[in-house]
Amino acid sequence: KWKMGDFVQLEIARIRELVGERALVLGACSGGVDSTVGAKIMREAIGDRFKAILIDNGCMRLNECEEVKETIGEHLGINLTVVDAGDLFMSRLAGVSDPEKKRKIIGSTFIDLFEQEAIRIEKEAENTPNSGKVEWFLQGTLYPDVIESLSFRGPSATIKTHHNVGGLPERMMKGQGLRLIEPLRLLFKDEVRAIGRQLGIHESLVNRHPFPGPGIAIRILGDVTKERVEIARQADHIFISMIREAGLYDQISQAFAGLDTNRSVGVFGDQRVWGYIVILRAVRSKDFMSAEVFNFDNSFLMNVARTICNQVEGVSRVVYDFTSKPPGTIELE
């Protein structure tokens, strides 16, 4: 059995060998533990020839973009470019409610932007000591993603199109001859966390709940608009802050607030309002392939519901999702 310490050294050696002396590597950074650990390993292996890209798809959590800039760019010293593409994603998602279509649109928009960035980065590197072609693309794919995408449950079993496995690299590989580099492909989440700590990544990031690449877009049942994302984002921030204040964050594997775009009638003062329904979800899971619902005190949930209705305009009802995985998935879509 391999040890964690050996893993990082072996992986760094493998990456150096694979990438060689000149090639550039592009990587998507979301600020999650996987992409951060992946980026840190790349940085250790090839220094500034690793270029991290953060694409702001307009569906990230509150303040997330700034936090990623600080951790990746400043704290870890990784070369980072932020692409502000919220409006592009929103316009392409307009009127689309089918979950798989949403994922495909988001995935292919990510690729379009990465392709643009690859070209820009090569140009920028010309005539510098680090000039080279972008030949590799980093993905923070974990072992469970690999398994879930392998259709091992039968012919119709690609449960969801994880945009970070499959679709994203395929087109880039064909179009630009990019090859994939996946340092975390053999690891489970808890192993990635252990390696993150070993690499000196801050505990608050290492312990952070996972967040999907498509972001809040797959936590909105129905079509995505800026207004809806903003409501889900505010509700999520309140829920997570209250979880932290109650000292429960580390007991929960993943928690978030999503939005049902069907609306429900409520009364505020003497006014009838027709508002959205916020769905709270919190689960415990070891490997995210199965999960059990987190058992809050009712009084805690009632307090969260009251706070969200009071503070987030446009919400008239808050519900808690009691479905384990299976049959429910962790995300709402």
Task: Return binding residues for ATP.
Answer: 30-36
- Which is nearer to ligand XMP, 99 or 132 (by Cβ)? 99
Q: From 36, 255, 194, 212, select the one nearest 110 (Cα to Cα).
A: 212
Binding site for ligand XMP (CB under 6 A): 103, 160, 162-164, 210, 212-214, 254, 288, 325, 329-331
Find the shortest distance in angstroms from Cβ 207 to ligand XMP.
14
Taking the C-alpha atoms of residue 107 and residue 93, their distance in angstroms, rounded to an integer, is: 11
Taking the C-alpha atoms of residue 8 and residue 265, their distance in angstroms, rounded to an integer, is: 54
- Which is nearer to ligand XMP, 90 or 332 (by Cβ)? 332
- Which is nearer to ligand XMP, 162 or 208 (by Cβ)? 162
Amino acid, single-letter form, for residue 185: R
Find the shortest distance in angstroms from Cβ 141 to ligand XMP.
9
Angle at 331 between CA 147 and CA 98, to 5 degrees: 95
Taking the C-alpha atoms of residue 234 and residue 257, their distance in angstroms, rounded to an integer, is: 9
Partners of residue 179 on adjacent β-strands = 136
- Which is nearer to ligand XMP, 210 or 314 (by Cβ)? 210
Taking the C-alpha atoms of residue 157 and residue 233, their distance in angstroms, rounded to an integer, is: 31
- 306, 312, 316, 322: CA torsion to nearest 10: -60
Q: In what helix (H) or strand (E) does residue 114 lie, and over which residues does it extend?
A: helix 99-125
- Which is nearer to ligand XMP, 288 or 296 (by Cβ)? 288
Taking the C-alpha atoms of residue 283 and residue 290, their distance in angstroms, rounded to an integer, is: 10
- Which is nearer to ligand XMP, 31 or 214 (by Cβ)? 214
CB neighbours of residue 112 within 10 Å: 14
Q: From 71, 46, 148, 56, select the one nearest 106 (Cα to Cα).
A: 56
CB neighbours of residue 138 within 10 Å: 25
Which residue ranges make up the annotated binding site? 30-36
Q: From 323, 306, 299, select the one nearest 238 (Cα to Cα).
A: 306
Residue with tokens 């802050």: 241
Find the shortest distance in angstroms from Cβ 109 to ligand XMP.
13
- Which is nearer to ligand XMP, 132 or 140 (by Cβ)? 140
Find the shortest distance in angstroms from Cβ 164 to ligand XMP.
5
- Which is nearer to ligand XMP, 11 or 148 (by Cβ)? 148
Find the shortest distance in angstroms from Cβ 288 to ligand XMP.
4
Query: What three-state secondary structure class fits 27?
Result: strand
Q: From 29, 32, 7, select the one nearest 195 (Cα to Cα).
A: 7
Find the shortest distance in angstroms from Cβ 221 to ligand XMP.
13
Taking the C-alpha atoms of residue 109 and residue 328, their distance in angstroms, rounded to an integer, is: 27
Find the shortest distance in angstroms from Cβ 163 to ligand XMP.
5
Find the shortest distance in angstroms from Cβ 3 to ligand XMP.
26
